[in-house]
Chains A and B, each alone.
Chain A
Amino acid sequence: GESVGLHLPTLSVQEGDNSIINCAYSNSASDYFIWYKQESGKGPQFIIDIRSNMDKRQGQRVTVLLNKTVKHLSLQIAATQPGDSAVYFCAVDFGNEKLTFGTGTRLTIIP
């Protein structure tokens, strides 16, 4: 079946350091991948997306890397700030017009 999993349920990073959150998916036919950030009491907020014809995409302080060979997706956050503390979800479109979400990684930035 189609599944999405995150490697670590929690991650703590010192403020100013870089963080990497990893995600694995099951279906090699997947063609659209999104990272969301969810702060406490709020809805998921779009961070960055990538389609399967790309390996890397950069935003402001964030980079998404896609390795289709091993079906792995990662989100890199540079120079982390306290406001980056949140739960991060990867979501995958398996080609059936719906997003399947991973279980989330809680990122804590230590001041």
Chain B
Amino acid sequence: DTAVSQTPKYLVTQMGNDKSIKCEQNLGHDTMYWYKQDSKKFLKIMFSYNNKELIINETVPNRFSPKSPDKAHLNLHINSLELGDSAVYFCASSHRGYEQYFGPGTRLTVT
């Protein structure tokens, strides 16, 4: 009965590879988000989708491409991975304008 789930939990890959992280929510929310948390625990929003439509796109390299096949899913694809992409990536969901519920995170390590 997990509310917001992400896969994989851990991802170790080499520079230059392409990888995807998947996110699903079963809360019936209309808005989903991707955040990046760096080694200092700073959380920064990357993207937000409302009803499958992109509404927030922060200053993120275009190597990062979110895809929302439906309201319950928001996947993150990353091309040409770089060392600086190493971080924990969190998916979250909410009804627009209300508290966000976060997934367990995906720890990405680029070597």
Contact = CB atoms under 8 A, between A and B. Distances in A.
Interface of A: 32, 34, 36, 38, 41-46, 49, 87, 89, 93, 97-101, 103-104
Interface residues of B, number: 22
B34 to A, nearest CB: 12
A97 B48 contact: yes
B105 A42 contact: yes
Given A32-B97, A43-B90, A101 B43 contact: yes
B42 A45 contact: no
B104 A43 contact: yes
Contact of B42 (A42, A44, A101): A101
Nearest to B9: A41
If over half of A's interface residues share one DSSP class (helix, strand or loop), that class is named, otherwise mixed; here it is: strand
Nearest to A32: B97
Contact of B56 (A32, A45, A97, A101): A97
Contacts of B102: 36, 43-45
B103 interface: yes
Nearest to B88: A43
Nearest to A103: B42
Interface string B58-87: 100000000000000000000000000000
Nearest to B90: A43
B104 A46 contact: no
A99 B96 contact: no
Interface string B83-111: 00000001010001101111111000000
Contacts of A34: 99-100
Contacts of A104: 41-42
Interface in B32-59: 40-45, 48, 55-56, 58
B104 A98 contact: no
6 contacts: A43-B105, A44-B43, A44-B90, A87-B41, A98-B45, A100-B45
